């Protein structure tokens, strides 16, 4: 279990700063809910502070590619593990997952939306 | 073996004491390596579902099963996934078995308020004639019928079935095969007699003290304090002692104190505290003389789910001062003098016993080896850690000695495989009930029971 659990973790979080160039059409609430859900689970390698202005947000094409990687059944279940763990497991089992996905995951490893499984409408884990 | 070498010198006990008592140095430990690293869990996270275990099990065992299928039904047999099945076409499918059992205890049924059911009492076997078998692969499942023994197989086994799909969506099985024995390991065993003592179910902390005398006799034989010079010289050939689980008795698990009021239980101590102290003293006597490997069992103070982690050394302060004490996991794999040992404390075998029609522990042990998996019923009916990367219970190499602890009686068999595998299967009996331990000779993979019976209160004489 993570050490930094506080009673205020269940309260809705407000973002302090906004990164530039945020893609349009993304719901503010969805990002907050993702953060709450992620904190409620024990797999916590995510930094609590929001993304700084130095990192560019991933483009929707990348997110779509990652989403397709999650939903492809050949690599096994996608819930409960990070995308990188799932990629490495598929590699070890000899299922030859596409290389660009790993490069993208490593490039954006600080972004919780990229590292974790695609969340559908703010539900799921 | 043991007694044959000892018998001629038995008369030595009646002779006057000699000036220089002979000493027999214990055979030196040569070539021990602990290979149970896959069973050790570091950081544990229980936030995953068990779907990962089944997915990696199927993905890991699929290549081997496809190879067996091709060898059995021809090189050009059609290997299909369930989604590619066509009606009437004879093909082979590899998947995980699921047995739908009516009597299987279900926690959801127990806590459901609509049913108002009293929890089902534990039964020795949960099988029924109306159980059904399904085959699941990554995407679909299908019901199996035909030449497949529903009662014998258990959930979680990876199997390859050959047959065709019927009109109403069932799969009619003509033949099926398991993964068969894993590839053989090269043999580099010792050339002289070396023994390993296997014992399990010491059952310390039980109310009756009858088994304590037998335990003390066991310790005395191993440390060479019992018998004439012949027996002592034989005991010097014992290189290792493996205690396969259930060092504490089931009586230490009673949780009555939870239901009682606090003022009644203020000064009581858990029964396991006294039992662990006794265990520490027994292990101290053993460790001063011979390397001991201690595996946890069902009633021992460690985690419940497989793989069970080693007992903590703070519980055994006297014995853990010695480097000869090794606290190991359950299941346990090690290479002793070039002979590969693999064994469990018996939870996997007794769980398969409950959900299968197989009655003989040795038969179930052999069946798990042929199925290529130590414990197929985990995580369905046996607690298991939610692995996601790989299933460490898949047998990738064929061990030389494969044992399970806490069996009702001693049985052993030397199994010869088609590809040159040679396995000694041993069911180590429960020591508190049978007072029997096993001696395995590493030179020729033979096994001999050794019983320490004492006269009970009922015996006349």
Q: What is the pLDDT of residues A19-50, one digit of tens each?
A: 455 545 444 444 444 444 444 444 444 444 44
The predicted model gives A109-125 an average pLDDT of 61
**pLDDT number for residue A125:** 45
The predicted model gives B330-337 an average pLDDT of 92
Chain A contact present for B138, CB below 8 A:
yes
First to last CA, chain A: 16
Q: Which of B229, B222, B170 is nearest to B197 (CA)?
A: B222
For the whole model, what pTM was predicted? 0.83
Q: Percent of chain B scored above 70 by pLDDT?
A: 95
Class of CATH domain B50-107+122-177? mainly beta
Asked if the domains at B2-7+23-43+183-252+269-451 and B50-107+122-177 fall in one CATH topology, the answer is no
DSSP state of A120: B
Q: Sort out which chain B residues have CB atoms less than 8 A from A41's CB and list them.
A: 47
**pLDDT number for residue A17:** 57
Binned at pLDDT 50, 70 and 90, residue A1 comes out as: very low
**pLDDT number for residue B178:** 94
Distance CA B92, CA B163 (A): 6
Contact B215, B200 (CB under 8 A): no
Binned at pLDDT 50, 70 and 90, residue B346 comes out as: very high
ipTM: 0.81
Beta strand pairing call for B422-429 and B332-336? unpaired
Distance CA B45, CA A41 (A): 10
Class of CATH domain B2-7+23-43+183-252+269-451? alpha beta
**Average pLDDT score, chain B:** 88
Q: Which of A41, A89, A93 sits opposite B47 (nearest CB)?
A: A41
Distance CA B86, CA B80 (A): 9
Q: Sort out which chain B residues have CB atoms less than 8 A from A85's CB and list them.
A: 388-389
Distance CA A14, CA A10 (A): 12
pLDDT at B230 > cutoff 50: yes
Q: Sort out which chain A residues have CB atoms less than 8 A from B49's CB and list them.
A: 77, 79-80
What ranges do the domains of chain A cover? 72-124
What ranges do the domains of chain B cover? 2-7+23-43+183-252+269-451, 50-107+122-177
A50-71 per-position pLDDT tens digit: 444 445 666 888 888 888 888 8
B152-199 per-position pLDDT tens digit: 999 999 999 999 998 888 999 999 999 999 999 999 888 888 899 999
- Top residue of A75, A77, A78, A116 to mutate, by most chain B CBs within 10 Å, is A77
Task: Please name every residue paired with B162 in a beta bridge, in sequence order, or none if there are none.
Answer: B92, B175
The predicted model gives B234-247 an average pLDDT of 92
User: CB–CB of B52 and A93 under 8 A?
Assistant: no
First to last CA, chain B: 30
For B417-440, the DSSP string reads: -TTS-EEEEEEEEBHHHH-EEEEE
User: CB–CB of B45 and A85 under 8 A?
Assistant: no
**pLDDT number for residue B8:** 61
């Amino acid at each position: 279990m993570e050490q930094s659990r506080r009673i205020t973790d269940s309260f809705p979080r407000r973002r302090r700063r906004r990164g530039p160039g945020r893609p349009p059409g993304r719901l503010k609430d969805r990002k907050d809910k993702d953060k709450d859900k992620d904190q409620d689970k024990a797999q916590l390698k995510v930094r609590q502070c929001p993304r700084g202005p130095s990192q560019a947000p991933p483009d929707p094409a990348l997110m779509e590619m990652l989403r397709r990687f999650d939903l492809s059944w050949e690599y096994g279940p996608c819930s409960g593990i990070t995308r990188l763990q799932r990629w490495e497991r598929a590699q070890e089992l000899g299922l030859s997952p596409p290389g660009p996905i790993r490069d993208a995951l490593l490039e954006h490893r600080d972004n919780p939306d990229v590292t974790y499984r695609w969340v559908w409408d703010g539900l799921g884990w | 073996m043991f007694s044959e070498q000892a018998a001629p010198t038995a008369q030595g006990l009646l002779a006057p004491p000699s000036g220089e008592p002979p000493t027999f140095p214990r055979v030196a430990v040569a070539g021990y390596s602990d290979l149970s690293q896959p069973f050790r869990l570091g950081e544990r996270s229980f936030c995953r579902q068990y779907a990962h275990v089944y997915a990696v099990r199927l993905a890991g065992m699929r290549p081997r099963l496809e190879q067996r299928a091709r060898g059995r039904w021809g090189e050009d047999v059609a290997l299909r996934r369930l989604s590619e099945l066509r009606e009437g076409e004879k093909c082979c499918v590899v998947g995980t078995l699921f047995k739908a059992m009516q009597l299987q205890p279900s926690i959801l049924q127990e806590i459901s308020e609509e049913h108002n059911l009293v929890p089902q009492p534990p039964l020795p076997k949960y099988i029924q004639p109306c159980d059904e078998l399904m085959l699941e692969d990554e995407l679909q499942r299908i019901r199996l019928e035909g030449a497949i023994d529903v009662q014998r197989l258990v959930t979680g086994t990876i199997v390859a079935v050959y047959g065709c799909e019927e009109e109403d969506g069932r799969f009619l099985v003509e033949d099926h095969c398991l993964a068969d024995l894993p590839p053989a390991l090269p043999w580099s065993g010792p050339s002289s007699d070396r023994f390993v003592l296997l014992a399990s179910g010491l059952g310390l902390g039980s109310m009756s003290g009858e088994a304590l005398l037998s335990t003390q006799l066991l310790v005395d034989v191993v440390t060479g304090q019992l018998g004439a010079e012949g027996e002592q010289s034989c005991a010097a050939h014992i290189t290792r002692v493996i205690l396969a689980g259930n060092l504490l008795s089931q009586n230490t698990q009673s949780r009555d104190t939870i239901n009682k009021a606090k003022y009644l239980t203020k000064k009581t101590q858990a029964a396991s505290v006294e039992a662990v102290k006794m265990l520490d003293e027994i292990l101290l006597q053993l460790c001063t003389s011979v390397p001991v490997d201690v595996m946890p069992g069902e009633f021992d103070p460690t985690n419940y789910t497989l793989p069970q982690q080693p007992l903590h050394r703070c519980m055994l302060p006297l014995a853990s001062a010695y480097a000869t004490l090794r606290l190991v996991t359950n299941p346990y794999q090690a290479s002793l003098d070039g002979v590969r040992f693999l064994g469990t404390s018996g939870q996997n075998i007794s769980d398969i016993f409950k959900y299968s029609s197989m009655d003989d522990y040795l038969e179930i042990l052999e069946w798990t080896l042929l199925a290529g998996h130590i414990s197929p019923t985990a995580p369905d009916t046996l607690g298991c850690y939610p692995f996601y990367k790989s299933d460490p219970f898949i047998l990738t190499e064929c061990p030389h000695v494969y044992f399970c602890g806490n069996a009702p009686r001693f049985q052993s068999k030397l199994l010869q495989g088609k590809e040159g595998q040679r396995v000694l299967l041993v069911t180590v009996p429960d020591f508190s009930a049978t007072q029997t331990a096993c001696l395995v000779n590493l030179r020729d993979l033979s096994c001999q029971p050794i019983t320490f019976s004492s006269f009970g209160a009922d015996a006349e004489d």
